[in-house]
Structure 1
Amino acid sequence: MPGERSITETERMVRAKLGDTPIRHEQMAMVGNIHRAAAAVRQHVENSVLRGSDLTWTGFVVLWVVWIWGEMETRQVAEEAGISKGTLTGVARTLESRGLVRRTEHPTDGRRVLLALTDKGEAQMHSLFPEFNAEEAFVAEQLSDEECLQTADALRRVVVQIEAHGEERRMQLLDGAPPVPRRSGRRPKA
């Protein structure tokens, strides 16, 4: 589990710290627990299954996207994997050096790049995914099949809300201004 404190202890401390602050506690708990659960699952799966295959979570997700959808443009892979194109470039180079993916020029536009699994990458996903899924079952062990479906549906609705209305909300919050550009972790040298 990420961090030293239990989820119950964290929730108790948050309630004590915020006290009468007028916030929506239930929604805060839901979003906080999405993050905490995702981090715990990611860390567990990386340490139990992926490390043995010398893969990171992000590397696995990239392989998964290309395994499911087939050959596709790198910008689409990055979007589906929820990572930046810059991050994908590094991950794809690593996966390519291990013989799991191949990068090729787009047939009509040399500026675009396609990503596909190699035979070795296909074999890797066929052998690795059952192990990955066994850990999915392990982390959901406290839930019934019905609770798993209900949770999946609730999370799907969270995603749909953001996909359908997130841009409109961002525009409202920023008064129509574009978001501040993301910065890398690097800062200018003094």
Structure 2
Amino acid sequence: MPGHRSITQAEKLAAAKLGGAPIRAERMAAVANIYRAASAVRQHLENSVLRGADLTWTAFVVLWVVWIWGESETRHVAEEAGISKGTLTGVSRTLEKRGLVTRAAHPTDGRLVLLSLTEEGEALMQRLFPAFNDEEGFVTAQLTEEECRSVADGLRRVVLQVEEQGEERRLALLDGAAPAPRRSGRRPQR
């Protein structure tokens, strides 16, 4: 791809830039490659199988979570999808307008909202997932079945490390302080 910067080239440039700084190059490469692989896979799937269904990655993941778990509280869907509740609100409203999900008040707690697939949403996932899985096969084609199991296991352990010890680590790094509020990238006008 013209103008495309290779991952190998980036790793060499980073090593040169850091010079003799004491870094864990293998750990840096692992984290950088997790991010780059996730981005490449997401972009490929959005531009191939999901585009035909007019879905973003996030919308597909929300549909997937509700398809697998069944009717669920929005807070659980957001957590499983790895998105904020605010993002889920926008995505679920769009999916609801398209007739793919329904949003309903929780029967015993009116503050909670439940999401479920409509018949049309169920039919879409039944049609779409086999094509999605074919593309999962495409993007992992250079790996053997054993390598796929090994990568999946290693990534599960990365997720578990963050889930089980991430909060404790964050507190230690910040001396128990709350993290600074997220910024939108905009700075106040002077």
TM-score, reference length from structure 1: 0.95
Letter of the structure 2 residue corresponding to residue 10 of structure 1: A
**RMSD across aligned C-alpha pairs, in angstroms?**
1.4
Aligned length: 189
Cα 1:146–1:116 change in 2 (3 A) is: same
Cα 1:164–1:118 change in 2 (3 A) is: same
- Alpha-carbon distance between aligned partners in 2 of 1:77 and 1:143, rounded to the nearest angstrom: 31
| Alpha-carbon distance, 1:37 to partner | 0.2
Secondary structure (helix, strand or coil) at the match of 2:109 reads coil
| Alpha-carbon distance, 1:187 to partner | 5.0
Percent same amino acid among aligned pairs? Answer: 72
- Alpha-carbon distance between aligned partners in 2 of 1:187 and 1:59, rounded to the nearest angstrom: 30
- Alpha-carbon distance between aligned partners in 2 of 1:42 and 1:60, rounded to the nearest angstrom: 11
Cα 1:186–1:113 change in 2 (3 A) is: farther
Are 2:39 and 1:10 aligned? no
- Alpha-carbon distance between aligned partners in 1 of 2:79 and 2:124, rounded to the nearest angstrom: 23
Letter of the structure 1 residue corresponding to residue 173 of structure 2: L
- Alpha-carbon distance between aligned partners in 1 of 2:175 and 2:160, rounded to the nearest angstrom: 23
Deviations 1:8-46 (A, max 9, x none): 111111111111111110000000000000000000000
| Alpha-carbon distance, 1:107 to partner | 0.7
Letter of the structure 2 residue corresponding to residue 126 of structure 1: Q
- Alpha-carbon distance between aligned partners in 1 of 2:71 and 2:189, rounded to the nearest angstrom: 41
Gaps of at least 5 residues in structure 2 are none
TM-score, reference length from structure 2: 0.95
Letter of the structure 2 residue corresponding to residue 114 of structure 1: L
Deviations 1:95-137 (A, max 9, x none): 0000000000011111110000001000000000000000000
Gaps of at least 5 residues in structure 1 are none
Q: Counterpart in 2 of 1:75?
A: 75
